[in-house]
């Protein structure tokens, strides 16, 4: 294998968004260093501005249709990569706005916080473009690195430290699995690029290698049975970091999963589809049932997040073009609804210094705006029409039913009912219970902007999803040569769709 | 394929979104009286619009009228498609009528969070109207689910019972459980269409449009599967015995206004007539389906009536009588003949005046005695003669006295049931007799006899607002009872088309005279 590292100007252009972000995060770090007395809010706005520039370049790429590959196919810019990059940058932008009030709680290194967030975002942008096993490993570790620090950022808080340590140990373990799996696959085939791997004959070594890789990715997205780090980490981490962790890395990991499963392993679909069906059923059921018992809103959203990942896995298990469309669309709805819900949690947490669901009692009296926004976000997560979550779930279920995955659909639908229960418990506390302290709560301007963005996204994706569907359909055109939907409905309901 | 008529003006969209827009206006208002007047004004305007709709509707036609269609999510085959025909058109003014009366009733009976109450009520009106005028199954499902949210808050926040928290949650989770099965059924219908469209090279390849689904043949065994999936959703919402346990809780614990809407507007049985029967004629006709559904209908009639017989609480009695009446509707629908279907449809409309009316009267009694328990009453007729009279009128209509609307509906249902299979008719008649027994027995004990304790002090008879509610309900009861022809004519075309489809598996092409006011 020879490596040709001569880069032309047009090659470098493909890296423009990443280069802009790299330059910008150096600027943020330098400004913080040179002007220590600068209010940290300014750093946040500086970071937001930088992300805005990155977003603009990505949109320009999207509109101009600029695509290509670099470094012997290690790095690919295609419509799907652009979709995920826009997703990640958008999520990062909102997370930074959410963080602004929270950062005052940190006693040290307030400026570095923004640097670390941007660095993780950069790592995830590379993940979206990873097109061979080596770049998967490098980009995944790169993005997780920032999170290791961010999760433990509340230095004097025991829970945060515990969360950081758990996340770190399990994360390093997953990285080990990933490296081991990659070495097995490479040893069996001598190839690293996804499209080259597609032609490999399945051997026992190869299968074990792939299983290890998927265990590591399963850890990343937090699907059962690789979910054990999620509740404690989400609970202990600073809430904006939890919000970030619950959305952006999930998107980036699904980019890798889609490329590996739909490109490298397209011929082995019956095998991995079955595994994904099990993972999906377990994630949805476990997440939703355990969520019922939670008293802390962050833990509740952590478990509901596990269940939501289970929903997305349905689309992956369908293994079709429509399934990939549905995954991308679902991630968009999840971005707005989940980030919106976390924004309310951060806002309430900043004001009353508590994340217990008990303390949401009577939120409607104290801040009708926040209570209403939370209501919309929770109902969207539950999948109530006409909000975004409904269209997302409908899309996923349509894709799966086209493949005859009836058992999965029925479990998924029953899970909607279960999830409705615990979301309604929160709604009840906000609207029915009397507040212990009826003083009104005022939400700060940047938080309000995020909540409005979340509300707008949740409503627009629910009521006028057409442009976004067009976008995701275009983003996954590379999968249109996959085996299409099953020709017709199977005669009987086979367990797990056969 | 059914003929479609458009009106040139999107009157259905206007009717659909007027209450929701009104709810948003209420949000901005502060003063209490202004909120009440605005809510009333919006609901009256809505009632007038629906009246216009009814007068411009072409009777004796099976066509889908006032049709509006805009693509919503084309890749999934979902379009915002609204239309009404003889089956659905009457429910639109009925919803507007009942909402207006509920607003009148709530004028001084709702005392806290008044603005939020009217907002929820108007949002509920939009969702309910949406259910009746949606022709696309996903849009229908959207409104079907959306209805749960305002209902949840109405029961939970303004309910009078101590168990209202439980009742609201039970209502939402039960109906949601049914709905998810229905969603699978709807998606399977779409998938069946997809298979057919791909093999016949028809565009679009996905569709949830009722009219397009009608043209698609569905294999018989697949029809049965889809029928039972849809059945789950409709049976929980209706509710059909034995899926009814949420209904008494919701009706008793929730506010009177919510009880009126829940008991007066028959969404579940409407769903059978709108979607299940025409889309799945082979399944609906099959022996197993008919036997099971008829069995449940008869069980509901007898169970509801017998349990109602021993209830000392008027609202609980009405809840069970409501279950019994639903059995009647189902009996008519699954007789699968012209009289039965027409009777079932008319009975659904009638219940919007009779059962809903009885809930209003239970509310009037509750306002006076803070209870609907029998022990709080006795000898009331001497104290409140006007209330007692209206309770008698509406009650007799509910048990089907000739001259009232209840008689016309029940008579047609029984006619249909007898011609389907005589056993159905015989059990149905027993239900009518039991119905008369439980109502008259209760009435006698509450209104006549010695005065109840604590009733010696003065007790107000109906005030002007309450009289307006009772009189308008009575007018409708006698109108349909004495001169049902206009109503039957409105239904006629669509019911006939449905019968043809059930018999021949093919929807008869609608004939509309050239002098139609629209087009």
B190 lies within 8 A of chain A by CB: yes
Quick one: which of B469, B305, B484 has its CA closest to B390? B469
Tell me if B18 is assigned to some domain. Answer: no
Could you tell me the two tokens for B390?
């209206």
Q: What is the pLDDT along chain A (498 residues), one digit of tens a residue?
A: 455 666 777 778 888 899 899 999 899 888 888 888 878 788 888 899 999 999 999 998 888 888 888 877 888 888 899 999 999 999 999 999 999 888 888 777 787 889 999 999 999 999 999 888 999 999 999 999 889 989 988 888 888 888 888 899 999 999 999 999 999 999 888 888 888 888 778 888 888 998 999 999 999 898 888 888 888 899 989 999 999 999 999 999 999 999 888 888 877 788 888 889 999 999 999 999 999 988 999 999 999 999 999 999 999 998 888 889 999 999 999 999 999 999 999 999 888 888 888 888 888 888 888 999 999 999 999 988 889 999 999 899 888 888 888 888 888 888 988 998 899 889 988 888 888 888 888 888 888 999 999 999 999 998 888 889 889 888 888 887 765 444 334 333 333 333
Tell me if B196 is assigned to some domain. Answer: no
Strand (E) positions, B10-129?
A: 65-73, 78-84
> What pLDDT does B457 receive?
66
A379 lies within 8 A of chain B by CB: yes
Give the helix/strand (H/E) hosting A195: helix A194-197
Task: Please enumerate in sequence order all residues whose Cβ is within 8 A of that of B11, keeping only pairs 6 or more positions apart, or say none.
Answer: B49, B52, B53, B56, B66
A469 lies within 8 A of chain B by CB: yes
Gap from A472 CA to chain B (nearest CA, Å) = 11
The closest CB to that of A416, out of B73, B180, B190, belongs to B180
Quick one: which of B277, B352, B294, B362 has its CA closest to B322? B352
Q: pLDDT band for position B48 (50/70/90)?
A: very high
Long-range contacts formed by B162-166: CB under 8 A, 24+ apart: B162/B253, B163/B249, B163/B253, B164/B253, B164/B254, B165/A428, B165/A432, B166/B249, B166/B253
| Alpha helices for A353-387 (secondary structure H) | 363-366, 368-382
Quote the domain boundaries for residue B349.
Answer: 286-493
pLDDT in tens, B447-470: 887 777 666 667 788 888 899 999
Percent of chain A as helix, strand, coil, to the nearest 5: 75, 0, 20
Tell me if B446 is assigned to some domain. Answer: yes
A149 lies within 8 A of chain B by CB: no
pLDDT in tens, B216-257: 888 888 899 999 999 999 999 888 888 888 998 888 888 998
Gap from B442 CA to chain A (nearest CA, Å) = 36
Tell me if B116 is assigned to some domain. Answer: no
A408 lies within 8 A of chain B by CB: no
Domain count, chain B: 1
**What is the ipTM, given to two decimal places?**
0.76
Tell me if B103 is assigned to some domain. Answer: no
According to DSSP, the residues that pair with B65 across neighbouring strands are B84
Gap from B187 CA to chain A (nearest CA, Å) = 7
With contact defined as beta carbons under 8 Å apart, do A244 and A92 qualify? yes
Tell me if B28 is assigned to some domain. Answer: no
Tell me if B12 is assigned to some domain. Answer: no
Cis before B242? omega within 30: yes
| Contact yes or no for B191 and A417 at CB 8 A | no
User: Is residue A293 packed enough to be buried (19+ CB in 10 Å), middle (13-18) or exposed (0-12)?
Assistant: exposed
> What pLDDT does B367 receive?
85
User: Is residue A488 packed enough to be buried (19+ CB in 10 Å), middle (13-18) or exposed (0-12)?
Assistant: middle
Chain A CB contacts of B137 under 8 Å are none
Distance between CA atoms of B450 and B459, rounded to whole angstroms? 16
User: Is residue B198 packed enough to be buried (19+ CB in 10 Å), middle (13-18) or exposed (0-12)?
Assistant: middle
Tell me if B318 is assigned to some domain. Answer: yes
With contact defined as beta carbons under 8 Å apart, do A215 and A226 qualify? yes
pLDDT in tens, A119-174: 999 999 999 998 889 999 999 999 998 899 899 888 888 888 888 888 999 999 99
Chain A CB contacts of B167 under 8 Å are none
A287 lies within 8 A of chain B by CB: no
């Amino acid at each position: 294998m020879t490596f040709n590292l001569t880069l032309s100007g047009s090659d470098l252009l493909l890296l423009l968004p990443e280069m802009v972000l790299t330059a910008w995060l150096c600027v943020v770090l330098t400004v913080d260093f040179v002007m220590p007395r600068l209010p940290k809010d300014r750093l946040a706005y500086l970071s937001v501005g930088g992300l805005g520039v990155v977003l603009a370049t990505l949109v320009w790429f999207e509109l101009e249709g600029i695509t290509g590959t670099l470094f012997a196919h290690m790095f690919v810019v295609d419509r799907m990569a652009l979709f995920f990059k826009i997703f990640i940058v958008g999520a990062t932008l909102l997370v930074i706005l959410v963080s602004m009030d929270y950062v005052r709680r940190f006693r040290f290194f307030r400026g570095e916080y923004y640097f670390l967030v941007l660095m993780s975002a950069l790592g995830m942008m590379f993940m979206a473009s990873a097109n061979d096993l080596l770049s998967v490993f490098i980009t995944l570790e790169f993005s997780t690195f920032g999170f290791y620090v961010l999760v433990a950022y509340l230095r004097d808080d025991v829970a945060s430290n515990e969360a950081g340590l758990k996340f770190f140990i399990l994360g390093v373990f997953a990285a080990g699995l990933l490296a081991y799996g990659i070495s097995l696959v490479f040893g069996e085939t001598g190839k690293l690029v996804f499209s080259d791997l597609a032609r490999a004959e399945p051997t026992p070594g190869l299968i074990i290698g792939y299983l290890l890789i998927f265990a590591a990715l399963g850890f990343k997205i937090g699907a059962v049975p690789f979910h054990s780090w999620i509740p404690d980490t989400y609970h202990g981490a600073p809430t904006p970091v939890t919000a970030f962790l619950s959305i952006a890395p999930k998107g980036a990991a699904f980019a890798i999963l889609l490329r590996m499963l739909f490109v490298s392993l397209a011929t082995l679909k019956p095998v991995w589809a079955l595994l994904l069906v099990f993972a999906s059923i377990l994630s949805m059921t476990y997440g939703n049932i355990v969520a019922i018992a939670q008293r802390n809103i962050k833990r509740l959203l952590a478990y509901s997040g596990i269940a939501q990942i289970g929903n997305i896995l349905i689309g992956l298990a369908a293994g079709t073009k429509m399934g990939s469309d549905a995954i991308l669309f679902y991630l968009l709805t999840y971005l707005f609804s989940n980030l919106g819900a976390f924004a309310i949690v951060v806002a309430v947490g900043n004001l009353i210094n508590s994340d217990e669901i008990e303390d949401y009692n009577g939120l409607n009296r104290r801040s009708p705006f926040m209570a209403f926004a939370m209501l919309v976000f929770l109902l969207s997560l539950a999948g109530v029409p006409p909000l975004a979550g409904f269209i997302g779930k409908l899309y996923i279920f349509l894709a799966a039913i086209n493949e005859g995955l009836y058992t999965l659909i029925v479990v998924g639908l029953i899970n909607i009912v279960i999830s409705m229960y615990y979301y309604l418990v929160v709604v009840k506390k906000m609207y029915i219970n009397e507040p212990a302290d009826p003083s009104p709560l005022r939400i700060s301007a940047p938080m309000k902007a995020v909540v409005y963005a979340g509300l707008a996204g949740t409503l627009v994706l629910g009521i006028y999803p057409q442009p976004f569907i067009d976008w995701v359909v275009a983003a996954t055109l590379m999968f249109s040569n996959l085996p299409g939907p099953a020709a017709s409905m199977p005669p009987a309901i086979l367990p797990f769709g056969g | 394929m059914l003929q479609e008529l458009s009106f040139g003006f999107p009157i259905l969209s206007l009717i659909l979104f007027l209450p929701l827009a009104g709810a948003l206006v209420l949000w901005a208002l502060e003063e209490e009286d202004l909120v009440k007047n605005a809510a009333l004004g919006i609901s009256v305007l809505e009632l007038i619009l629906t009246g216009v709709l009814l007068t411009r509707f072409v009777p004796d036609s099976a066509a889908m009228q006032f049709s509006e269609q805009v693509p919503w999510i084309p890749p999934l085959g979902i379009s915002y498609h609204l239309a009404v025909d003889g089956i659905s058109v009457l429910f639109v003014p009925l919803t507007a009528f009942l909402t207006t009366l509920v607003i009148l009733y709530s004028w001084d009976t709702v005392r806290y969070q008044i603005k939020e109450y009217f907002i929820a009520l108007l949002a509920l009106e939009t969702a309910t109207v949406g259910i009746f005028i949606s022709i696309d199954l996903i849009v229908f499902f959207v409104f079907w689910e959306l209805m749960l949210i305002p209902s949840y808050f109405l029961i939970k926040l303004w309910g009078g019972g101590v168990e209202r928290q439980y009742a609201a949650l039970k209502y939402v989770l039960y109906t949601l459980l049914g709905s998810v099965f229905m969603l699978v059924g709807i998606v399977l219908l779409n998938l069946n269409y997809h298979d057919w469209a791909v093999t016949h090279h028809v565009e679009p390849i996905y569709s949830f449009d009722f009219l397009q689904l009608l043209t698609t043949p569905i294999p018989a065994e697949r029809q049965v599967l889809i029928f039972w999936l849809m059945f789950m959703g409709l049976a929980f919402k209706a509710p059909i015995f034995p899926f009814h346990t949420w209904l008494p809780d919701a009706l008793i614990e929730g506010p009177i206004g919510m009880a009126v809407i829940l008991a007066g507007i028959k969404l579940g049985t409407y769903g059978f007539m709108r979607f299940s029967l025409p889309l799945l004629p082979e399944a609906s006709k099959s022996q197993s389906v008919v036997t099971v559904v008829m069995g449940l209908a008869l069980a509901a009639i007898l169970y509801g009536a017998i349990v109602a017989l021993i209830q000392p609480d008027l609202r609980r009695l009405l809840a069970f009588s409501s279950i019994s009446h639903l059995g009647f509707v189902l009996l008519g629908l699954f007789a699968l003949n012209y009289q039965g279907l027409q009777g079932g449809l008319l009975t659904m409309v009638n219940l919007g005046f009779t059962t809903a009316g009885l809930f209003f009267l239970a509310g009037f009694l509750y306002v006076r005695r803070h209870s609907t328990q029998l022990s709080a009453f006795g000898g009331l007729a001497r104290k409140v003669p006007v209330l007692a009279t209206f309770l008698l009128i509406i009650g007799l209509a509910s048990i089907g006295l000739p001259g009232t609307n209840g008689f016309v509906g029940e008579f047609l249902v029984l006619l249909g049931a007898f011609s389907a299979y005589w056993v159905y008719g015989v059990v149905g008649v027993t239900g009518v007799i039991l119905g008369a027994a439980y109502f008259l027995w209760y009435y006698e004990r509450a209104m006549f006899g010695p005065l109840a304790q604590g009733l010696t002090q003065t007790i107000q008879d109906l005030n002007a607002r309450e009289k307006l509610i009772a009189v308008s309900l009575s007018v409708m009861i006698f109108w349909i009872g004495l001169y049902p022809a206009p109503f039957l004519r409105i239904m006629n075309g669509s019911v006939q088309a449905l019968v043809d489809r059930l018999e021949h598996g093919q929807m008869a092409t609608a004939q509309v005279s050239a002098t139609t006011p629209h087009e």
